[in-house]
Chains A and B, each alone.
Chain A
Amino acid sequence: MSIFNGMNVSASALTAQRLRMDVVSANIANAETTRGKLVDGEWQPYQRKMVVMEPNQSSFASHLSKAMGSNEAINGVKVRAIIEDQTPFKLVYQPEHPDANEDGYIQLPNVDPLKEMIDLIGTTRSYEANVTALDAHKNMLLKALEIGR
């Protein structure tokens, strides 16, 4: 429905930011995880994850409205994929660790807590911005109801 379109756009952004928040939390939680996944019988550390976002255009309704010649459908955002950061793992000398290799080094995840904290702040601010946009939209609708009062 058209009058709530803006709200739906903000809602999709809020959902996306929540997912991003979950991913950042998972990264922080697994910052020291040495047994992320088993590859050829050997433990690989946890790999940092990132979200990839794209405009939400896949809905049938948006394609239909575009084909019908109405103005460019306004779309929200959606998370296309969660990808893994390919930067190399950190090597730390810790020979007493059960996952240490023959040289006494263990591989730690490529998670940088500093980066994660920045991402966390970004996510929080982005969420707040979208809540503000949603509130503005609602206030606009309520203002419209005051016309002629």
Chain B
Amino acid sequence: MNRLRPVLLAALPVLVGLALLALWEIWVARADIPVFVLPPPSAIGAALIDHFGQLTASLLVTLEITLLAFFWAIVSGIGLAVLFTRSRLIERSFYPYVITLQVTPVVAIAPIILIWFGFDNVNSAMVLIAWIVAFFPMLSNSVQGLRSIDPQLHDLLTLAGAGSLQRLWHLELPAALPTILTGAKISGGLALIGAVVAEFVAGSGASTGLAWRIIEAGNRLEIATMFAALLLLSLLGIALFYTLTFIEYLCLHRWHDSFQEANR
């Protein structure tokens, strides 16, 4: 029984999912719900197969925007955090604007950004919009990680005569890595949300990502295709999250306290 437990635990969510899908299928058929209101899982599966080429192409577009925005969020978040923790003056000067960027609803900024970039650079505009959404948790987590380093460790490097870059490489980045990775897990998910928002705002013709497929299918009342695109978006989010969780595990499991229990 004990040896079966892990298998059972892993199978549990799958079983729940299958049961829910079965209920859904039966309920839609029994209650005679129209396909354009709620298609049964089988129809969604069929739509996914029918439009597979088109949908995966769109998936790649959304993935590209998400990853680019996420990449810039990581670079700018960590970079700015390093500047902020090195100089109070820089932090004082820029922090209010970072906050402004964070609290202004991105949907409201997006049309302006699209106009600025123009029709030829829609992809760059969408990356920028997604970056605005993804950037802040990366910054705030990096700042927090860099700030909470034991001052004695800083003393140690001072005594060893460490230069600014040596301090960054040997102490600050590795010590802040756990909080930075936590920020990355939030930021990665937000980059996807930002990409979807950007595609929604960019609208017809300009974008060919998954979010646009959802709008397009909605306009044509192909509700099953909408669900298929939605499913792919969810899978993309899940894949992103677990990839980051795995990277976190690779980086930290040897030494960080949060993995200590699992190791024993």
Asked whether A and B interact, the reply is no
Contacts from B to A (Cβ < 8 Å): none
